[in-house]
A = this chain, B = another copy of it.
């Protein structure tokens, strides 16, 4: 086929990403050939290999369209100082879930990431990006938690690291399960109640750092 203009080329790139999103979601990443992606976009493999090095590169770009904005959101909230850090954390979490429920593209991509994809050697680069993004998310959560401790919103001996990990797991779990069966309940409507439940748990019974005194009380087990 003939050469297209630059903007047309950018459009076909987006079209390829859109097509990949659909086909990956229907058949799974490993089970779809790049020919199938091309066909779904009304193109040929030549177009795919022109715009992307291979399937991993395509998949990475596809994820980036959704995860980059989300990471930016988390980083922006986590990087700021707040008068009410716990409220900021709550809002951040609810926004994340609401976004997932409202944004069809985010919905699709998370469906692929959670249920239609194998994180193996082929996608090693994607795995690394995913893991570092996850670390960044936990770090930012922990920043907010530390502010909350400083503001006396949380117990002074709160284990902020473990609390952040737990919160991250909670969010991932909600997304994972909702995406698996979005018809089960209306996430947009329940998001705040779910997050409030978790935040209340954080206030009432956060994980505690093991103090020297506590360690003496339950010394060795052997």
Of the stretches A26-34, A78-86, A143-151, the one at the interface is A26-34
Contacts of A76 in B (CB 8 A): none
Q: A28 touches which one: B120, B172, B190, B207 (CB < 8 A)?
A: B120
How many of chain A's residues touch chain B, expressed as a range?
Answer: 35 or more
Tell me whether A197 is interfacial, beta carbon within 8 Å. Answer: yes
Say yes or no for A165: interface residue by CB 8 A criterion: yes
With A172-B173, A176-B169, A184-B165 known as contacts, the answer to whether A118 contacts B201 (CB < 8 A) is no
Residues of chain B contacted by A197 (CB below 8 angstroms): 163, 166, 198, 201-202, 205-207
CB-defined contacts of A27 to chain B, threshold 8 Å: 120-121
The interface residues of chain A, by DSSP majority, are classed as helix
Q: Using A120-B28, A122-B31, A201-B204 as known contacts, say yes or no to A169 and B178 having CB atoms under 8 A apart.
A: yes
Whether a CB of chain B sits under 8 angstroms from the CB of A61 is no
Which residues of A line the B interface, CB within 8 A?
26-31, 115-122, 131, 134, 159, 162-163, 165-166, 168-174, 176-178, 180-181, 184-185, 190, 193-194, 196-208
